[in-house]
Copies of this chain bind each other. A is one copy, B any other.
Amino acid sequence: MVSMKDIARECGVSVAAVSKALSGQPDISEVTREKIKKAASTMGYQPNSAAKVLRTHRSNNIGVLFVDEAHNGLTNEFFALLLDRFKHVADSKGYDITFINRGISSGSMGNMNYLAHARYRAFDGVLIACMDFHNPEVIELAQSNIPLVTIDYSFEDRMSVESDNVSGIRDLVLYCAKMGHRKIAYIHDDNDSAVTRDRVGSFKDTMESLGLSVPDSYLPVAEYRKTEGSRKATEKLLALKDRPTCILYPDDFSALGGIAAIKEAGLEIPKDISIVGYDGIRVGRHLTPSLTTLRQPTELIGETAAQKLISLIENPAETRIEKVVVKGRIYEGGSVARI
């Protein structure tokens, strides 16, 4: 590998001169600079990030953490789309993206935790987009001094980009009510997250404001993004004496589970029962009928997260810590009947 040393020898200058010439420093004459640049190009010089990182403590590398339980990390369309846009913005600003994980071993010291991994690779910043924000390692990372942005969760004094779950659920409930539904159920996860609190809270509040009652049986529990759980929850709802006319699902995958249960019960959507998803993933648009859902501005979330994080990295002083909240919009499919 050609290094600055080689170029320096070739051009009869010092290594420092080469470094300055190539990095655009002012105190190098144009003649020398051109000579050096030409030699670098001819000799096939490639900079070495390791040396640069070692010296400058800047890696131009962003760590991305997402918890991969059940492998629906990357294959989770919401996350994939988000990461895709995040990556795009990061790329354009000269940052690479590396996944943070636990596999890297630190010699005899066992495997590294997330923070150790982030320090090991000298990430300039970190994106956390996962559900398990109560994981002690995630908390440790969030409390470190590394610039970071979280998605759909907010740590104190740290940047976050969140979708507006309160308005999302409210809009959906209002839409269903407008379509004539009075008996509306909402399936949700019982984890202790802001997402759940906001959504369930918003659901209850909106229903109350409409003067509609919500029996406990209308709030069954099922794990997010799992078809199996929501299928069972749906079965329970369908078995109720006074069953709902409309079921809200916490995400489109859960809705798929619900659809299966509804079909099995011999019912038809939306004639016999109406359903609503959340997230607006691609699959929903191709169902028959297509799924009415709250389309999250996922691309915007990804781009915003990248911009905020990079701003935090490059201008820590001028960057105000904020909790960015983005609103979604209803995608009106055909899964809600007017009654």
Q: Name A's B-contacting residues (CB within 8 A).
A: 1, 22-24, 37, 40-41, 45-51, 53-54, 59-61, 68, 71, 73-75, 77, 80-81, 83-85, 87-88, 90-99, 101-109, 116, 119-122, 256, 259-260, 263, 282-283, 286-288
Cβ contact within 8 Å between B47 and A54: no
Cβ contact within 8 Å between B84 and A71: yes
- The residue of chain B having its C-beta at the shortest distance from the C-beta of A97 within the complex is B99
Q: How far is the CA of A283 from the CA of B253 in the complex (A)?
A: 10
Q: Which residues of B contact A46 (CB under 8 A)?
A: 106, 116, 119-120
Copy number of this protein in the oligomer? 2
30 pairs, A vs B, C-beta closer than 8 Å: A1-B119, A24-B108, A37-B108, A41-B109, A45-B109, A46-B106, A46-B120, A48-B54, A50-B50, A50-B51, A50-B53, A54-B54, A60-B104, A61-B98, A68-B88, A71-B84, A75-B80, A75-B81, A75-B84, A77-B77, A91-B103, A94-B104, A95-B104, A96-B98, A96-B101, A259-B286, A263-B288, A282-B283, A286-B287, A287-B288
Q: Given that A49-B121, A54-B51, A288-B288 are contacting pairs, would A80 and B91 also be in contact in the complex, using a CB cutoff of 8 Å?
A: no
Q: How far is the CA of A70 from the CA of B71 in the complex (A)?
A: 25
Cβ contact within 8 Å between B74 and A122: no
Cβ contact within 8 Å between A50 and B97: no
Cβ contact within 8 Å between B101 and A98: no
Q: How far is the CA of A37 from the CA of B90 in the complex (A)?
A: 38
Cβ contact within 8 Å between A74 and B68: no
- The residue of chain B having its C-beta at the shortest distance from the C-beta of A87 within the complex is B99
Cβ contact within 8 Å between B54 and A50: yes
Q: How far is the CA of A228 from the CA of B223 in the complex (A)?
A: 35
Q: Which residues of B contact A40 (CB under 8 A)?
A: 109
Minimum CB–CB distance from A123 to chain B (whole Å) comes to 10
Cβ contact within 8 Å between B96 and A91: no
- The residue of chain B having its C-beta at the shortest distance from the C-beta of A22 within the complex is B107
Q: Which of A22, A80, A95 has the most CB of B within 10 A?
A: A80
Cβ contact within 8 Å between A87 and B105: no
Minimum CB–CB distance from A279 to chain B (whole Å) comes to 13
Q: How far is the CA of A237 from the CA of B107 in the complex (A)?
A: 62
